[in-house]
Amino acid sequence: MEDAVLTSSSSYIEDGRLITIKEYLLPDGSTIVDTMSVSAVATLSSEGRDTATRTRKLSDWGTITITATFDWYTEGAFSYVKCVDMDATKRLSSGAVASKWEKSSTSDYVSLGKAKAQVSYYIYDKDIPTNHTDGTFTITCSDSVTISDNA
């Protein structure tokens, strides 16, 4: 995603969820469609919980989805956040193989920082192994309750 160019971005609210869709063009001509869904109102509270879902559609490779639940609260002058649950799934195109699929999350409360849920991946073409895509796909939640795609 380092050399990706953002070609479009749109947001809308549906059923109380803020949906943001970003489309990127990569130097090789392939595209990525990144969709993020978070509560439209939960993050306005100093204490709460929200489940965020982020999906990345990698042209020719398949789709990766992360679903993460974040808890946050404020005590005195400090705010705390942690990822209480996360899962990452993949639906790969025919011929695509994931040789790396490492899920991780921040399971302890963090103050003055961000909790995250992420998956690091390396996907290659089984017929042409030098043809590949790789990266780290993340959802973050700051102690000030900003849930983000970190992009």
Tens of pLDDT along 27-71? 888 899 999 999 988 777 778 899 999 999 998 899 999 999 999
pTM listed for this prediction? 0.89
**CA 69 to CA 120: how far, in whole Å?**
19
* pLDDT at residue 86 is higher than 80: yes
Confidence of residue 96 (pLDDT cuts 50, 70, 90): very high
Percent of the chain with pLDDT over 70: 97
